[in-house]
């Protein structure tokens, strides 16, 4: 049965107060030109240049991927308490991508947004309401993820959202549900074998607000170019406005599916642990989401979703081991 969740731009703030979690889990590519945005640079030590930092470095202790302990449960059949106080319209509003193939993309035949991230969001909605279709999807860009969580436009983000120290200062994360890694996409005619092989001065595109764009700061010979989404990066590559695209391996695999005249090169040069983003004030909801993810894995949902979307381009995969025990934003 196809799922047809509502897509809305309505803004709703999460209600304050703790969510009582004492229940068992019941379970495009456009043709117009895009104007490249070359990231401002600052002179780095040794005479190199790198993108200007967007925030002060944060200091974290312990494992940055550690999340809050999962919510406990009671006897079977007990109804979840407090859901209506937090999700007042009876649905879970989730910020997602609509143009990231395999993770979150609109199916042109059905107009339904689908993918691995979307399946994960549905699993949390099912745990909350006993119905995976009680979900409202809001299409956002990578740069929208943190602002939309902070201003209450969305209650959760499921959009290839890398967990890192700096972001923990601004939002909270669930346990890691997928471990990706950054690689590079180039035209099939390129002789480069890795990011280190790209010629000096190569224009490399990544979405604004992404860890992929930030990582380019460590390659001063390259010219970072920011775009709204990876799809815009692909259009720029096709139009000759950039020379390469960098991003997580799973995202780049989706781009290759759109354009067979491209290829992914090199080994992973970062680890990108994906977590569900949630407003920092709602730790109880984070705990509930962690319990939902644990149940999703136990029931085989994670594996079924991976096999459907990611096994062919990336090979066999298993869910990452969750890490818990976080006490605050810095660990």
pLDDT digits 0-9 by tens, 209-259 = 999 999 999 999 999 999 999 999 999 999 999 999 999 999 999 999 899
Both 245 and 119 in one domain: the answer is: no
pLDDT digits 0-9 by tens, 12-44 = 333 333 233 323 333 333 333 444 555 543 333
Q: Between 327 and 34, whose confidence is greater? A: 327
Both 256 and 278 in one domain: the answer is: no
- Tell me if 140 sits within 8 A of 206, measured CB to CB: no
Task: Output the pLDDT for position 88.
Answer: 67
pLDDT digits 0-9 by tens, 280-292 = 988 888 999 999 9
pTM assigned to the model:
0.77
- Tell me if 238 sits within 8 A of 229, measured CB to CB: no
Give the pair of three-digit tokens for residue 90: 């009876």
Burial annotation 73-112 (CB, 10 A radius, 16+ → b, else e): eeeeeeebebbeebbeeebbbbbbbbbbbbbbbbeeeeeb
Residue where a domain stops, chosen among 246, 265, 284: 265
The 8-class DSSP code of residue 116 comes to H
189: containing domain: 37-52+180-265
pLDDT at position 271 over 60: yes
Both 149 and 187 in one domain: the answer is: no
Query: In the predicted model, what is the mean pLDDT of residues 135-157?
Result: 96
Both 214 and 246 in one domain: the answer is: yes
Burial annotation 185-203 (CB, 10 A radius, 16+ → b, else e): bbeeebebeebeebeeebb
Residue 222 has a CB neighbour count (10 Å cut-off) of: 23
Helices 249-258, 230-238: inter-axial angle, 10-degree rounding: 50
Both 150 and 195 in one domain: the answer is: no
Both 306 and 222 in one domain: the answer is: no
Task: Output the pLDDT for position 330.
Answer: 86
Asked whether residue 122 is domain-assigned, the answer is yes
The number of residues making up the chain comes to 331
Asked whether residue 319 is domain-assigned, the answer is no
Query: In the predicted model, what is the mean pLDDT of residues 90-117?
Result: 96
Both 117 and 156 in one domain: the answer is: yes
Reduced to 3 states (helix: H, G, I; strand: E, B; else coil), residue 147 is helix
Task: Output the pLDDT for position 27.
Answer: 33
Q: Sort 139 into a burial class: Cβ within 10 Å, 0-12 / 13-18 / 19+.
A: middle
Both 192 and 306 in one domain: the answer is: no
Task: Output the pLDDT for position 38.
Answer: 56
Mean pLDDT of the chain: 83
CATH label of the domain that carries residue 125: 3.40.190.10
Asked whether residue 117 is domain-assigned, the answer is yes
Asked whether residue 101 is domain-assigned, the answer is yes
- Tell me if 175 sits within 8 A of 74, measured CB to CB: no
Residue 26 has a CB neighbour count (10 Å cut-off) of: 16
Q: Between 40 and 89, whose confidence is greater? A: 89
pLDDT at position 99 over 80: yes
Asked whether residue 29 is domain-assigned, the answer is no
* Dihedral (CA of 130, 136, 141, 144) sign: negative
Asked whether residue 329 is domain-assigned, the answer is no
Both 260 and 284 in one domain: the answer is: no
Burial annotation 248-267 (CB, 10 A radius, 16+ → b, else e): bbbbbbbbbebbeebbbbbe
Both 84 and 173 in one domain: the answer is: yes
pLDDT digits 0-9 by tens, 179-214 = 999 999 999 999 999 999 999 999 999 999 999 999
Asked whether residue 331 is domain-assigned, the answer is no
Reduced to 3 states (helix: H, G, I; strand: E, B; else coil), residue 144 is helix
* Dihedral (CA of 24, 13, 114, 238) sign: negative
**Residue among 173, 185, 214, 212 nearest 320 (CA):** 173
Task: Output the pLDDT for position 57.
Answer: 54
**Residue among 54, 34, 41 nearest 221 (CA):** 41
Query: What is the count of structural domains for the chain?
Result: 2
Q: How confident is the model at residue 73 (pLDDT cuts 50, 70, 90)?
A: low
Both 161 and 187 in one domain: the answer is: no
Q: How confident is the model at residue 71 (pLDDT cuts 50, 70, 90)?
A: confident
Query: In the predicted model, what is the mean pLDDT of residues 142-162?
Result: 96
Both 227 and 284 in one domain: the answer is: no
Asked whether residue 20 is domain-assigned, the answer is no
């Amino acid at each position: 049965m196809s799922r047809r969740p509502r897509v809305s731009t309505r803004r709703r703030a999460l209600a304050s107060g703790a969510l009582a979690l004492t229940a068992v889990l019941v379970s495009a590519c456009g043709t117009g030109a895009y104007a490249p945005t070359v990231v401002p640079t600052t002179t780095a030590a040794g005479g190199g240049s790198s993108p200007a930092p967007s925030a002060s470095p944060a200091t974290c202790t312990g494992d940055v991927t550690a999340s809050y302990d999962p919510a406990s449960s009671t006897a079977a059949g007990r109804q979840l308490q407090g859901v209506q106080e937090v999700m007042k319209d009876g649905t879970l509003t989730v910020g997602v991508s609509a143009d990231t193939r395999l993770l979150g993309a609109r199916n042109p035949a059905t107009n339904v947004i689908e993918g691995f991230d979307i399946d994960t969001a549905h699993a949390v909605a099912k745990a909350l309401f006993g119905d995976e279709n009680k979900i409202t999807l809001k299409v956002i860009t990578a740069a929208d993820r943190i602002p939309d969580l902070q201003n209450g436009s969305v209650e959760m983000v499921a959009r290839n959202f890398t967990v890192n120290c700096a972001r923990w200062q601004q939002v909270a994360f669930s346990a890691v549900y997928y471990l990706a890694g950054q690689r590079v996409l180039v035209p099939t005619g390129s002789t480069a074998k890795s990011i280190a092989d790209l010629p000096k001065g190569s224009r490399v595109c990544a979405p604004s607000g992404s860890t992929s764009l930030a990582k380019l700061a460590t390659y001063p010979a390259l010219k970072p170019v920011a775009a709204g989404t990876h799809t815009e990066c692909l259009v720029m590559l096709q139009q000759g406005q950039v020379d390469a695209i960098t991003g997580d391996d799973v995202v780049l695999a989706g781009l290759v599916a759109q354009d067979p005249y491209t290829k992914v090169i090199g080994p992973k040069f970062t680890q990108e642990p994906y977590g569900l983003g949630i407003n920092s004030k709602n730790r109880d909801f984070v705990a509930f989401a962690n319990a939902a993810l644990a149940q999703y894995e136990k029931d085989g949902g994670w594996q079924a979703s991976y096999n459907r979307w990611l096994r062919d381009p990336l090979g066999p995969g298993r869910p990452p081991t969750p890490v818990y025990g976080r006490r605050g934003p810095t660990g």
